[in-house]
């Protein structure tokens, strides 16, 4: 299935049905009076987050969604039928943005969450509504109220606990394949990963978290270089970032600073998230190189640096445990202070 995380669609709710002008016509009843009914309500446009979707690819082929008009009123004071609502199902984590791509209209970050985006028009009144003691035979009836219409952008931000960041060929896809059942493409050239990948990491029967791998960043990604930074949105909801650095590539400090600069330029609170720095590919370095590069990186970053080899599976368990500790703490904080949850970012 092709991955698509952005789509522009047009939505329009239904118009209300028209009211009707009618009079009671019945044998032996000389003055039947007005009995025109009102129109039915137009259909609403509703968005719903569901679990069984993970891409917006369906919206590449269907881009216009219109609800039906409500039924017109009828004689004998009969109200027109209400139109059926149009429910648009989207993946969990979908944000609905206005046409300016900046105004957030809704954030469907939990399964089953619904949002009424465009309300259907109300039905118009029939002439029975306007009957009074001084106006026994009104001939006024109203048209139904128009529905609402707008263009919106859908933006998918994957729901994950841990986000993988790093330069191309830092070993992110290899790490994901080692610790989860995900099978991303792995090769010895840059930008092997072209779209985000998710994997579930299980440490025990009760300890698990979701890991997101995004395409590698390069210097100038915030300006569109390489694949750009558009995929960084998929790690905005993460509790912690796992920053993988290719220890065998040489200048590990420069690699770390490059990614940190891109996170700062992107914004969205990514630079403020907890970060676990891991020097990867330990099996491709001598003990002297490993010790020196780890010490240099710790001095530059001011943080503890862990060592790992995804291919040889050395140090992987320690890294996973450190990640889960941060994830568990973030989950506990969300339960204690649900109103301060930043999942709507």
pLDDT at 185: 57
- Which three-class secondary structure state does DSSP give residue 303? coil
Q: Tell me: is residue 311 an annotated ligand-binding position.
A: yes
Q: How much is the pTM?
A: 0.73
DSSP 259: H
Residue 213 marked ligand-binding: yes
Distance, in Å, from the CA atom of 301 to the CA atom of 271, rounded to the nearest integer, reads 13
**281: annotated binding-site residue?**
yes
- Supply the pLDDT for residue 342: 45
Examine domains 1-156 and 162-340 and report if their fold is the same.
Answer: no
Q: How many other C-beta atoms are found inside a 10 Å radius of the C-beta of residue 274?
A: 15
Instruction: Identify the pLDDT of residue 18.
Output: 95
CA–CA distance, 58 with 326 (Å, rounded to integer) = 35
What pLDDT sits at residue 171?
81
SS3 assignment, position 234: helix
Q: Determine the pLDDT at residue 52.
A: 81
Is 195 a known ligand-binding residue? yes
Distance CA 149, CA 135 (A): 37
Residue 143 marked as a ligand binder: no
51 belongs to an annotated ligand binding site: no
Asked whether residue 337 is marked as a ligand-binding residue, the answer is no
Is 193 labelled a binding residue? yes
The pLDDT of residue 189: 47
Q: Rounded to whole angstroms, how far apart are CA atoms 81 and 260? A: 58
CATH number belonging to domain 1-156:
2.70.210.12
- Kindly report the length of the chain: 345
Residue 147 CA to chain centroid, in angstroms? 26
pLDDT recorded at residue 159: 73
On whether 282 is known to bind a ligand per the annotation, the reply is yes
Do 28 and 157 form a contact (C-beta atoms < 8 A)? no
Query: Does 191 belong to an annotated binding site?
Result: yes
Angle at 161 between CA 322 and CA 55, to 5 degrees: 150
CA distances from 318 to 75, 161, 335 (A): 76, 17, 26
3-state DSSP helix/strand/coil % of the chain, to nearest 5: 25, 25, 50
Residue 166 labelled as part of a binding site: yes
**Side-chain half-sphere exposure of 311, counting CA atoms within 13 A:** 11
Instruction: Quote the CA–CA distance of 281 and 244 in Å, as a whole number.
Output: 10
Q: What are the extents of the domains in the chain?
A: 1-156, 162-340
Please check if 259 is assigned to a binding site.
Answer: no
At the topology level, CATH places domain 162-340 in Rossmann fold (3.40.50)
**Do residues 224 and 262 make contact, with C-beta atoms less than 8 angstroms apart?**
no
Backbone angles phi, psi at 172, to 5 degrees: -70, -45
| Chain centroid offset of residue 297 CA | 35
CB 247 within 8 A of CB 284: yes
Residue 54 and residue 66: Cα distance in Å, rounded? 24
> Looking at residue 2, what is its pLDDT?
58
Exposed e or buried b per residue across 309-331, where buried means at least 16 C-beta atoms within 10 angstroms of its C-beta: bbbeeebbeebbebbbebbeebe
Say how far apart CA 93 and CA 109 lie, in whole Å: 4
Residue 306, helix vs strand vs coil: strand
Tell me: is residue 316 an annotated ligand-binding position: no
Q: For the chain, which ranges sit under pLDDT 70?
A: 1-3, 182-195, 216-231, 338-345
Cβ atoms of 229 and 163 within 8 Å: the answer is no
167 is in an annotated binding site: yes
Residue 230 burial (C-beta neighbours within 10 Å; 0-12, 13-18, 19+): middle
The answer to the question of whether 173 is labelled as a binding residue is yes
């Amino acid at each position: 299935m092709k991955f698509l995380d952005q789509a522009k669609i047009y939505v329009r709710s239904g118009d209300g049905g028209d009211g009707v002008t009618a009079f009671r016509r019945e044998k032996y009843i000389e003055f039947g009076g007005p009995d025109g009914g009102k129109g039915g309500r137009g259909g609403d446009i509703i968005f719903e987050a569901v679990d069984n979707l993970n891409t917006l690819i369906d919206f590449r082929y269907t881009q216009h969604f219109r609800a039906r008009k409500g039924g017109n009123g009828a004689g004998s004071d009969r109200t027109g039928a209400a139109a059926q609502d149009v429910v648009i199902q989207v993946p969990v984590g979908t944000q609905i943005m206005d046409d300016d791509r900046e105004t957030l209209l809704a954030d469907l970050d939990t399964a089953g969450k619904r949002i009424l985006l465009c309300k259907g028009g109300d039905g118009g009144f029939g002439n029975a509504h306007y009957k009074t003691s001084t106006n026994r035979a009104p001939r006024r009836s109203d048209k139904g109220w128009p529905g609402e219409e707008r263009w919106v952008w859908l933006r998918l931000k994957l729901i994950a606990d841990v986000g993988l960041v790093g330069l191309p060929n830092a070993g992110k896809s290899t790490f994901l394949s080692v610790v989860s059942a995900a099978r991303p493409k792995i090769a010895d050239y840059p930008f092997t990963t072209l779209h985000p990948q998710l994997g579930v990491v299980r440490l025990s029967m009760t300890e698990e978290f979701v890991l997101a791998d995004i395409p590698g960043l390069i210097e100038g990604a915030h300006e569109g270089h390489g694949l750009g930074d558009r995929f960084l949105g998929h790690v905005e909801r993460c509790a912690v970032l796992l920053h993988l650095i290719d220890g065998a590539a040489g200048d590990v400090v420069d690699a770390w600073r490059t990614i940190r600069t891109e996170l700062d330029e992107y914004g969205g609170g990514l630079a403020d998230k907890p970060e676990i720095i891991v020097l990867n590919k330990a099996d491709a370095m001598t003990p002297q190189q490993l010790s020196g590069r780890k010490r240099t990186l710790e001095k530059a970053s001011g943080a503890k640096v862990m060592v790992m080899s995804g291919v040889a599976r050395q140090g992987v368990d320690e890294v996973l445990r450190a990640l889960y500790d941060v994830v568990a703490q973030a989950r506990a904080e969300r339960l204690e202070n649900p109103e301060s949850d930043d999942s709507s970012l």
